[in-house]
Amino acid sequence: MGLFDRIWRGLPSASRRGAPARGVGASPTKQGDLFDDEFQRKLETLALVSRKVFAGRLRAERRTKKKGSGVEFADHRDYVPGDDFRAVDWNAYQRFGRLLVRLYEEEEDLSIYFIVDCSSSMGFVSGGSARGASSAKFDYARRLAAALAYVGLANLDRVTVVGMSDQVVARMPTTRGKGRIFRVFNFLRELSPTGVTDLGEGMRTFVAQHKRRGLAVLISDLYDHAGFERGINVLRYAKFEPFVLHIVDPAEARPELNGDVRIYDCETGDEREVTITPAVLERMQLAWREYQESVERFCASRQVPYFPADINVPFDELILKVFRRGGFLR
Amino acid sequence: MAFAGLPFATLVTIAAALGALTVVFYILKLRRRPIAVPFSHIWERVLRDKEAESWLSRLRRLLSLLFQLLLLGVLILALGDPRLSQNLVQGRNVLVLVDTSASMKATDGSPTRLDSARDQVAAMVRGLGATDRMLIASMDSGVRPLTGMTGEAQDLTLALKELRATDTRADIRRGLRFAADSLRGLPKAELVVVSDGAFGDLDQESLKDVLGDIELRYVPVGSRNKNVAITQFSVRRYPLDKSRYEVMLEVSNTNEEPTEVELTLIGDEQVVDVSRLSLGPNERLPRFYKDLAGASRTLEAVIKLGDGTPDDLPADDHAYALMPERRRSRVLLVTDGNTYLEAALLLDEYLEVTEVTEAAYPPSGRFDVTVFDRVAPPLAEGGGAALYLNPPDTETAPVPRGKPLKDFGFDTWERKHPALRFTELGDVQVAVGNSFRPERGDKAVGASFQGPILVEGRRQGRRFMALGFDPRQSDFVMRVAWPLFILNTIDYFVAEDTGYISSFRTGEVWHIPAPSGASSAELEGPDGVRRTVPVKQGQAVFQGDQAGFYTLRVAGEEQEQTSEFAANLVDLAESRITPSPTFEVGDKRATAVSGFNAGVRRELWIYLLIAVVLASLVEWVTYHRRLTV
């Protein structure tokens, strides 16, 4: 039983009661072997790659556009009254006869937002019709969010987790440090897949609530009747760096149906009568594949990092190999 | 087209009800099961392409409904049993008379003649027309219908399995009368006789108008006539030495060629005598074996061909006889002294005689027969049957006396009565005596012109015989008939026949001696089957059709009484197994059967049912292959 499995089924009583964690590296090791010490050491050596530099309030391991008290030289500018004399570059004055002030790059922390799709389609059980039931897709998405949040927290980034359907259904306040990982776990555990997907509306609310820009990791199956593009575009236009983790269940491409059936959408309830034949199933598989490709094309054309997350791929393999190969982790 | 099954109005009602039910079920079936999908948007893309096929899909559904209604209609049509009009008009009523007599056991068939007959009739059943009806009956010494007049091939086929050849002769007259009675008044009546034609000599003149308008057809079976037979078999014990016996038998060669026969006599399962006989063509050779000994119970005669090969009919190669068990009969003689009577009783060593005077009667002990000489005391228990010689005119006498007679004799007597067997009474002269006045149920066995003088009957459940004169007042005691009369009467009472110990003849009604108190008895045949037979007037009545030894068991007052007897075929007509290619009844000559086209069923409902099954099969396959959904 792995760490997250253990966590999912119930944290140690001390942690659930809010007892301070004495070190993330020690606690999970006791709880399981899926995320054992070796696995966590690998995660801690990974850092999120930020393709842009964001402004931050606290010093961290990333450069920002701010010039300040860092150690890395950045630039010169003319001296103005009030500047710190210690910053005057006397060598430059001797050379150019002008008072120039040395500017340094300031290393600041990164804000990472994990936006977990909590719509009903995420809770869809392939081959069944349980609406809102816990499913492989939703569990997979929550585990992904938890693992990535742990990586972010381990790198002293500011991590925020948001549950979203057609609105922000839940929000975990921004936190940092590995010791807060159990807070993330508790938050994710409380989420449930209900509601209709409307990423556009949800993202507008999200953007309005979060002024601090950063990496916005969207973990979703992108089954949005209004169009998944709207949500991603809202993030882009608001200067967030969208990062799409597309949860994919291949079983949905070829459902085990036959004969005359009445299909209905698990979110909207829209009904259609259809007679399932092998030809229909073939077309269904083709349409599903086209939909996945359209998502990938959209992200590629907007330079939005896109990673399909097949729920049949073992969890640790996805974390350690697929993400690294895709450049998500360095 | 007409309906032989349900009436048309009923069919319409059923069709309307089931049709409506089908449509309702079909509509209910169209309420499809709901299935959730995660994202109907993708399905929209798929279904947009499928819209173009929707009209075809609707057409398929409509066709599916129409197909179901069509199948339903065909099924209901089958229920109506539609027939072509000409078939309805031309229905025949066929009575098949299958010979099951002994000659049908001949092994020149497949393997027997009866099996060949069964195959022939089965072929006729298969070729029975849609409106034809058939009745199958077996014919041996009697006629037994195995079915009613029916068109159901299954019933007729099952009845064929019940056909079984017996050891009796074929009574064709009875069979023809049965056929005539069964087919009287029926249209297109046909009588089909399936036989080897071994019916003996028929009096065609008397059969002239038996069948009337009934069409007579004949199916001959059999091909050879290689047979020798025992056609007579009789055994009798010598009256005065019952340990010895003599046998008379007749061996017949029914072939057209001379043959050698080996004859074996077997007594109590031990070979008594073996002899070889030469028989000319169609020769009947009687043989007489005198003064034989060595068998006290069973006697069996067996013949076989001299070259050791079997003949075609084994059933007539055996004959059986069973001799009554010899035991000492206990006789009580109540007399004041009668030398002639005592002398007669001394002749039989198997008699155990106790003599008492009237004053000493009744002595202790049980007796089979009590002989009252000029006395008639009240009958005591355990005395058995009673023989009265000149009983006095008292109330205890068995028969009231009639008028006194002088100088008379036996003018009439039953020559075949067991008590008078081997006797000649016409010369007996009697000086004085009395006639009897028999009561109801009594029987006069002998009489003079002036009245009965020898009467038998039953009193208090016990048999008696009364002689109306004192033998010493006649010359009866001087004649050989006297001791024979005494011993015959005793044997008659104790059911020990000194006459022909032959056997019963199969096919006839047997009257087997049994204790009179019983109303039924159990009879075990040669095949081991036990059956209950009625007992009337001291005789079990049964019509047997199997040759061999039988055992009769009757529940007695103290213990079960068992007796055995034998039955034989011994019938020359049945042993003449030469198959007859033709058959005539009166002036009517039988023709060959026709109109039975094997393999063609004319009932349309069978084909309709097959069509529905095939169509359902095709529909099932195409449905599961997704061709029709």
pLDDT in tens, B560-610: 778 788 888 888 888 888 888 888 888 888 888 887 765 555 677 888 888
Give me the sign of the Cα torsion angle A208, A209, A214, A216.
negative
The per-residue pLDDT for range A216-269, each reduced to its tens digit, is: 999 999 999 999 999 999 999 999 989 899 999 988 888 888 777 888 898 888
What pLDDT score was predicted for residue B392? Answer: 93
pLDDT of residue B576: 86
Q: What domains sit in chain A, N to C, each tagged with a CATH number?
A: 3-50+110-326 (3.40.50.410), 62-108 (no CATH)
B382: tokens are 């355990």
Q: Would an 8 Å CB–CB cutoff place B629 in contact with chain A?
A: yes
ipTM computed for the complex: 0.71
The structure tokens 């798929």 sit at B46
Closest Cβ opposite residue A266 in set B36, B46, B57: B36
CB contact B55 to A (< 8 Å): no
Q: How crowded is residue B489: how many other Cβ atoms within 10 Å of its Cβ?
A: 23
What percent of chain B has a predicted confidence (pLDDT) above 70?
90
If you ran DSSP here, which 8-state letter would residue B99 be given? Answer: E
Residues B43, A263: C-beta atoms closer than 8 Å: yes
**With pLDDT > 70 as the criterion, what percentage of chain A qualifies?**
70
Asked if the C-beta of A72 comes within 8 angstroms of chain B's C-beta atoms, the answer is no
**pLDDT confidence bin for B62, thresholds 50/70/90:** confident
Q: Would you call B629 and A277 a contact, using CB atoms and an 8 Å cutoff? A: yes
CB B606 within 8 A of CB B612: no
Is a pLDDT exceeding 90 seen at residue A24? no
- Nearest chain B Cα to A264, which residue? B36
- For residue A20, the model assigns a pLDDT of 32
- The H-or-E segment that residue B584 falls in is strand B584-585
Contact flag A131-B36 (C-beta cutoff 8 Å): yes
pLDDT in tens, A133-162: 447 888 888 888 888 888 788 777 889 999
Write out chain A residues lying below 8 Å of B626, CB-based.
258, 277-278
Please list, in sequence order, all residues whose beta carbon lies within 8 angstroms of the beta carbon of residue A265, skipping any fewer than 6 positions away.
Answer: A225, A271, B36, B37, B38, B39, B40
Tell me the C-alpha to C-alpha distance, in Å, between residue B119 and each of B115, B144, B149, B254, B315: 6, 19, 20, 27, 22
Q: What is the pLDDT at residue B111?
A: 87
Q: Residue B478 — very low, low, confident or very high, per pLDDT cuts 50/70/90?
A: very high
Q: Does A78 touch chain B (CB under 8 A)?
A: no
Among chain B residues, the shortest Cα distance to A267 is held by: B38
- What pLDDT, on the 0 to 100 scale, is given for residue A324? 62
Q: Which structure tokens are listed for B104?
A: 């049908």
Residues 231-260 (A) with a CB less than 8 A from some CB of B: 249, 252, 255, 257-260
Name the more confident of B237 and A250.
A250
What is the CATH number that goes with domain B329-493? Answer: 3.40.50.880
Residues in chain B with CB shorter than 8 Å from the CB of A259 are 629
Contact check, Cβ <8 Å, A223/B41: yes
- pLDDT tens column, A158-217: 899 999 999 999 999 999 887 888 788 888 888 889 889 999 999 999 999 998 888 899
Interchain pair B57, A275: CB under 8 A:
yes
The DSSP code for A212 is: S
CB B447 within 8 A of CB B412: yes
C-alpha dihedral over A244, A247, A250, A254, to 10 degrees? -90
Whether omega before A193 lies within 30 degrees of 0, making that bond cis, reads no
Question: Which residues in B lie closer than 8 A to residue A270 (C-beta atoms)?
Answer: 40
pLDDT at A50: 31
- Shared fold status for B91-224+578-601 and B228-324: no
Residue in B with minimal Cα distance to A288: B42
ω into residue B362 within 30 of 0, thus cis?
yes
How distant, in Å, are the alpha carbons of A322, B441, B443, B494 from that of B420? 128, 20, 14, 15
| Cβ A282 vs Cβ B41: under 8 Å | no
* Residue tagged 């089958």 (tokens): B78
Q: Provide the mean pLDDT of chain B.
A: 85
- Tell whether B38 lies on the interface with A, counting CB pairs under 8 A: yes
- CB-CB: which of A259, A265, A290 is closest to B37? A265
Residue of chain A nearest B43, judged by CA positions: A284
Q: What are phi and psi of B478, to 5 degrees?
A: -90, -5
Residue A290 near residue B43, CB atoms below 8 Å = no
pLDDT number for residue A321: 60
CA distance readout (Å), A238 to A214, A229, A235, A244, B601: 10, 14, 5, 16, 88
Arithmetic mean of pLDDT over chain A = 75
Q: Helix H segments across B330-453? A: 339-346
The beta-carbon neighbor of B50 closest among A225, A249, A280 is: A280
Residue of chain B minimizing CA distance to A286? B46
Of the candidates B225, B330, B328, B233, which has an alpha carbon nearest to the alpha carbon of residue B281? B225
A266–B46 CB contact, under 8 Å: no
Q: How confident is the model at residue B223 (pLDDT cuts 50, 70, 90)?
A: confident
In what side-by-side order are the strands of the sheet with B189-195? B143-145, B133-139, B93-99, B189-195, B215-220
CA–CA min distance A252, chain B (Å): 8
Does B34 reach chain A within 8 Å, measured CB to CB? yes
Query: CB–CB of B32 and A252 under 8 A?
Result: no
Sign of torsion over alpha carbons A75, A80, A82, A85? positive
Strands B560-568 and B584-585: unpaired
A79 interfaces chain B, CB cutoff of 8 Å? no
Residue B460: count other Cβ atoms within 10 Å of its Cβ. 10
Local structure of B616: helix, strand or coil: helix
Q: What is the pLDDT of residues B399-412, one digit of tens each?
A: 999 989 999 999 99
DSSP-derived pairing of the beta strands B385-389 and B369-373: parallel
How many other C-beta atoms can be found within 10 angstroms of the C-beta atom of residue B517?
12
Sign of CA dihedral B478, B484, B487, B490: negative
Best interface-test mutation with B: which of A196, A264, A285, A311 has the largest number of B CBs within 10 A? Answer: A264
Q: Where are the domains of chain B?
A: 2-84+605-624, 91-224+578-601, 228-324, 329-493, 506-566
Residue B348 has pLDDT above 70, yes or no: yes
Using CA atoms, how far apart are residues B138 and B148, in angstroms rounded to an integer? 13
Does residue B48 sit at the A interface (CB-CB below 8 Å)?
no
Q: Nearest by CB to B46, which of A221, A249, A280?
A: A280
pLDDT digits (tens, 9 = 90+) for B103-158: 899 988 788 999 999 999 999 898 887 778 899 999 998 899 999 998 888 899 99
The values of phi and psi at residue A37, to 5°, are -60, -45
Among the partner-chain residues A130, A266, A275, the one whose CB lies closest to the CB of B37 is A266
CATH superfamily of B91-224+578-601: von Willebrand factor, type A domain (3.40.50.410)
Domain B506-566 in CATH 2.60.40? The answer is yes
Tens-place pLDDT, residues B419-474: 998 899 999 999 999 999 999 989 999 999 999 999 999 988 889 999 999 999 99
Burial of B569 (0-12, 13-18, 19+ CB in 10 A): buried
Query: Residue B333: enclosing H or E segment and its boundaries?
Result: strand B329-334
Which of A121, A272, A287 lies at the smallest CB-CB distance from B38?
A121
The answer regarding whether domain B228-324 maps to CATH 2.60.40.10 reads yes
Which site among A135, A265, A276, A290 would you substitute to test the B interface, given the most B Cβ atoms closer than 10 Å to its Cβ? A265
End-to-end, the C-alpha distance of chain A in Å comes to 28
Q: SS3 for A198?
A: coil
- Cα atoms found within 13 Å of the Cα of residue B141, Cβ hemisphere only: 18
Residue B1: pLDDT band with limits 50, 70, 90: low
Q: Residue B388 has which token pair?
A: 């009265």
pLDDT recorded at residue B127: 84
Min Cα separation B616/chain A (Å): 18
Phi and psi angles of residue B215, each rounded to the nearest 5 degrees, phi first: -70, 130
Q: Which residues of B touch A223 (CB under 8 A)?
A: 38-39, 41
CA distance A188 to A191: 5
